[in-house]
Amino acid sequence: MATNRTFTMIKPDAVKNGHIGNILKDINDGGFKIIAMKYTHLNAETAGQFYAVHKERPFYKDLVEFMSSGAIVAAILEKDNAVADFRTLIGATNPAEAAEGTIRAKYAKSIDANAVHGSDSDENAEIEGNFFFSSLERFA
Ligand code: GDP
């Protein structure tokens, strides 16, 4: 069942490079409502758990190291067709292939340091939102 929600993280590269404000503005301008949000960080263990689905991929170790290298902003977003529309707003995984005007085209430097995460399905949006937020930490 479509939940009209997605989960995002502003990744350590974008936080370090001062892009939190610009990215949140793009998210708001894209019509997404913020249901929950926190400035936090992952460590090697929690980043490993979050990305467990990629455990067998060659880039898993680098991904875990990168995602635990600095602060992140985690948020649950709401909009009709949230998962697909948010992936359109952020652009392709590799910023070199991301469409002009997308968040990754504007703020990402490389395929690993690619500025933002966006859930790839309603099911994963639910799982990922629950990974970071209790029911007391979200509006609605
Ligand atoms: P997404 O859904 O667009 O985030 O892409 P994926 O689910 O395929 O990959 C998850 C994350 O792993 C990406 O956002 C990147 O940060 C990272 N990643 C994907 N492919 C590569 C790669 O080839 N090398 C490295 N170092 N990281 C990658």
Cα–Cα dist 140/44, whole Å: 31
Please tell me the predicted confidence (pLDDT) of residue 139.
Answer: 80
117 is catalytic: yes
Domain at 107, CATH number: 3.30.70.141
**The model's pTM:** 0.96
Q: Quick one: which of 100, 85, 84, 93 has its CA closest to 117?
A: 93
Cα–Cα dist 65/11, whole Å: 12
For residue 138, what is the DSSP state? Answer: S
- When pLDDT is cut at 50, 70 and 90, the band that residue 2 belongs to is low
Instruction: Judge whether 34 lies within some domain.
Output: yes
Look at phi and psi of residue 117 and say left if phi exceeds 0, alpha if psi is from -120 to 50, else beta: beta
Q: Measured from the CB, is residue 62 less than 6 Å from ligand 1?
A: yes
Digit-coded pLDDT (tens) for 52-83: 999 999 999 999 999 999 999 999 999 999 99
Please tell me the predicted confidence (pLDDT) of residue 136.
Answer: 87
Instruction: Judge whether 140 lies within some domain.
Output: no
Digit-coded pLDDT (tens) for 86-126: 999 999 999 999 999 999 999 999 999 999 999 999 999 99
Q: How many domains does the chain have?
A: 1
Domain that holds residue 104: 5-134
Q: Measured from the CB, is residue 65 less than 6 Å from ligand 1?
A: no
How far from chain centre, in Å, is Cα 26?
A: 13
